[in-house]
Amino acid sequence: MECEQQDNSLTGHQKVIKEEKPFPYEEYGKVFSSNVTLLIHHTEEKPFSCNECGKGFSTKQKLKIHQTVHTGEKPFKCTECGKGFSTKHQLKLHQAVHTGEKPFMCAECGKCFSTKQQHKIHHMTHTGEKPFTCTECSRGFYTKRDLKMHQTVHTGEKPFTCTECAKGFSTKQKLKIHQIVHTGEKPFTCTECAKGFSTKHQLKVHQAVHTGEKPFTCTECSKGFSTKHQLKIHQIVHTGEKPFTCTECYKGFCTMQKLTRHQTVHTGEKPFTCTECGKAFPTKHQLKLHQAVHIGEKPFMCAECGKCFSTMQPLKIHQTIHTGEKPFTCTECDKCFSTKKTLKIHQTVHTGEKPFTCTECGKGFSRKQKLKIHLAVHTGEKPFMCTTCGKCLSSKQKLNLHHMTHTGEKPFTCTECGKGFSRKDNLKIHQTVHTGQKPFTCTECDKGFSTKQNLKMHQMTHTGENP
């Protein structure tokens, strides 16, 4: 084979052709084709700059690959589906989707991968190795790409903008996922129930509903999860870590998603609108929950009593009625709760915190829901109508309680005497008959009462106020 390059560079050029890589880098065990590429790797020098955006690259090849972002050029086409790619390497990775070939197997767990790179990254989940560390918060990552994505949390950089709504995103992947909101495209279909999903990841998470598979286990409490992300979120329950802070009120959150959702409290932004009734919501999840009101769909059924729910979350909460499980304990009084949300609501009893204030009368409430119910006193609004007798009520909760007067349903039963109650509150009040407990004490005469209502009635004897 003849080489057109000059004699003085022939040896180096031939090494490239033969793919000889005689310059090892001992720290990582990585090998390079020339002393120059080794030096660039070691110094992290980026001499090749993009004239469109100024971004630097270590090699001319990497610069050429990057420039396709600006030109949109995708010269490598898949013969199976016609999808285009900017590099031959990306095409080869994609073709594994069609062939199903996964030649790289993990020696630890037997899981197979289509590329050596995927296999290496996966292997780190067994070794615990995270070689890329964030200089801001010391958090470790498996890949340089994951680190770069994470760093946008600190910099706030969102270079990828949606052409439809001008919303910014930190990665191209997040932008692509978001754009499906506008297109409505759901190319990934579940083979079990034919439900469509906008991303392959969402489909995989959903499939766990059918398989029941929960391969990710918490080392603290042995609880299983269908995805690694769900496990990481759960583990914060044990660590108490809340790395994401609101700049408005300095409240901490365990995930960026929860912080974003919280920030709508300050901005008032509600970008997700119901096409049926025009009601707006701050998150897509809340909109989906609301839409179940219109379609009446309740696909999640309790195996114990047959009660159906529109989503898995309320079903799981409901199931604690049957199991009696209350994993969340109040540090003040040791009272236990079935959900973290009910624990937080309870804790306002001790803190006295009432952050939700009525603009009409100034009355404070511990929960936004209680404020909404209270506002009906001023507006007179009663949007929830009983289909049996036509009576209108101000909240869905009141409608559900009222509905029991027609059905005679009393799901809360006293374990001491078997008496049934339509409300859990009424059962708790009744149980003080058996326990003799009187937790509400008058500050004037120290007399105890079983309910707050009875205490308030009693206090009128001191104030002279007519009941």
Strand, coil or helix: 440: strand
User: What is the pLDDT, as a whole number, of residue 5?
Assistant: 41
d(CA 40, CA 25): 12
Q: C-alpha distances in angstroms, 115 versus 143, 173, 304?
A: 15, 20, 46
Rounded Cα distance between 12 and 438, Å, is 89
Residue 1: HSE in the Cβ half-sphere, 13 Å Cα cutoff = 7
Tokens at 114, concatenated = 């289509």
pLDDT of residue 23: 43
**pLDDT value at residue 375:** 84
| Phi/psi at 56 (5° precision) | -100, 150
pLDDT in tens, 290-299: 877 777 777 7
Taken in order 100, 175, 252, 290, the sign of the CA dihedral is: negative
The model carries a pTM of 0.33
The DSSP element (H or E) to which 124 belongs, if any, is helix 116-127
What is the tens place of the pLDDT at every residue in 221-252? 888 887 777 888 788 778 877 878 888 788 88
Q: What is the pLDDT of residues 46-64, one digit of tens each?
A: 888 888 888 888 888 888 8
> For the residues of 415-426, what is the DSSP string, one character each?
TTT--EESSHHH
- The pLDDT of residue 18 is 39
Enter the tokens of residue 366: 């511990």
The H or E element that residue 375 is part of is helix 368-379
How far apart (Å, rounded) are the C-alpha atoms in residues 115 and 106?
12
Segments in the chain below pLDDT 70: 1-44, 466-467
pLDDT score, position 149? 80
pLDDT for position 34:
52
The continuous run of DSSP H or E covering 43 comes out as: helix 35-43
Domains annotated for the chain, with CATH where assigned, are 188-239 (3.30.160.60), 413-463 (3.30.160.60)
What lies within 8 Å, CB to CB, of 342 at 6+ separation is 328
Name the DSSP letter for residue 276. T
> Is the separation of the CB atoms in 95 and 77 below 8 Å?
no
